[in-house]
Structure 1
Amino acid sequence: MNREFPRRVVINIKVRNFYYLIAGVLAMLFAVTHAWNGQSVMLPMLDIKAMSMDTRTVFTYVWHIITAENLVFGITFISMSFQSDRSKIRFAAWMIVAILIVRLMVILGVTALLDVSALTDTFIDSIAIVIYVVLIILGTTMKTKQSDG
């Protein structure tokens, strides 16, 4: 009597880049807090009669575009944290860094242009973006030996 037993399939998932994993988790957290802040604080303030419906609509979808962007960045970095071939993911990481730096420049530039005294209100957001960018850059500069272990 010859019995064949099914082979066990073992999936070996190993974090190769903890910087990307942390950046991904932070981005997911940023997406949740951005959506929450929008729904509970910012977007209800738009319900004023002096503002046209078109302006409120644009503000609302731009707000949610940023939320969705953060969510996509989070998913991207979490999946990139498991990749063993860094050469395939480095370009994506640098593109996201560029987007985040431009985002920070827009936040600071527009705030300074419209109300310089409000720059202090952007401090927490600015620090969060800088920490996020630093984590991504650290992830791109990891040596192969470190990322494999």
Structure 2
Amino acid sequence: MKKMFVNIYYLIVGILSILFSFTHALNGHQTILKIIDLGNMDITSKSTIFYVWHIITIENLIFGIAFISMAFYKNQSKIKFTAWLIALIIVARWGVIFFSTLLKNTSGIPGTLMDSIAIIVFVTLIILGTFKKDKVQF
């Protein structure tokens, strides 16, 4: 019987990313996008906010699928670059959120705390996964 190897860090990140995808979509539809739809903003701005919101949602879903696939990949050294690249994208995304808030609404900085904590945990798990030498066997 063959033993299956798994990078538990990537598996956790994959599951979290898919969960974040669904919560991001639901949160958007229940709060932000609903408010924007009811406002008197022009249709082009509404459409732009709608698709940008869903780009993040689908990115999270794709990252989740990628990390779950990568968790079971036997030669982990071949996928480290992908993990680092996704971590960089997540950190860059956080930078845009944080610095946009800093420039446009400094009083909103405390509102970024939960996102910041989630991103720190998420990226830390990715980095731990890239340094993982021993594989857990099932």
Greater relative contact order: 1 or 2 (C-alpha under 8 angstroms, separation 6 or more)?
2
> Quick check: 1:125 aligned with 2:119?
no
The ranges of structure 1 where at least 4 consecutive aligned residues each deviate by more than 2 angstroms after the TM superposition are 12-15
Q: In terms of Rg, which structure is larger? A: 1
**Distance in structure 2 (CA, Å) of the matches to 1:50 and 1:37:** 21
Q: What is residue 56 of structure 2 aligned with on the other side?
A: 66
Q: What is residue 23 of structure 2 aligned with on the other side?
A: 33
Aligned length: 137
1:107-132 residue CA offsets vs partner (Å, 9 max, x unmatched):
10000000111000111011101100
**Distance in structure 2 (CA, Å) of the matches to 1:20 and 1:70:** 14
Q: What is residue 73 of structure 2 aligned with on the other side?
A: 83
- Aligned AA for 2:76? R
Unaligned runs of 5+ in 2: none
Q: CA deviation at 1:57?
A: 0.1
- Aligned AA for 1:116? T
Per the alignment, in what secondary structure is the counterpart of residue 135 of structure 2? helix
**Distance in structure 2 (CA, Å) of the matches to 1:53 and 1:104:** 27
1:66-90 residue CA offsets vs partner (Å, 9 max, x unmatched):
0000000000000100011012111
- Aligned AA for 1:66? I
Q: CA deviation at 1:24?
A: 0.3
State the identity %: 46
Q: CA RMSD in A?
A: 1.4
**Distance in structure 1 (CA, Å) of the matches to 2:65 and 2:8:** 14
Q: What is residue 147 of structure 1 aligned with on the other side?
A: 135
Unaligned runs of 5+ in 1: 1-9
Q: CA deviation at 1:48?
A: 3.5
- Aligned partner (choices 4, 13, 27) of residue 14 of structure 1: 4
> Quick check: 1:114 aligned with 2:104?
yes
Q: TM (normalized to structure 2)?
A: 0.94
Q: TM (normalized to structure 1)?
A: 0.87
Q: CA deviation at 1:61?
A: 0.3
- Aligned AA for 2:12? I
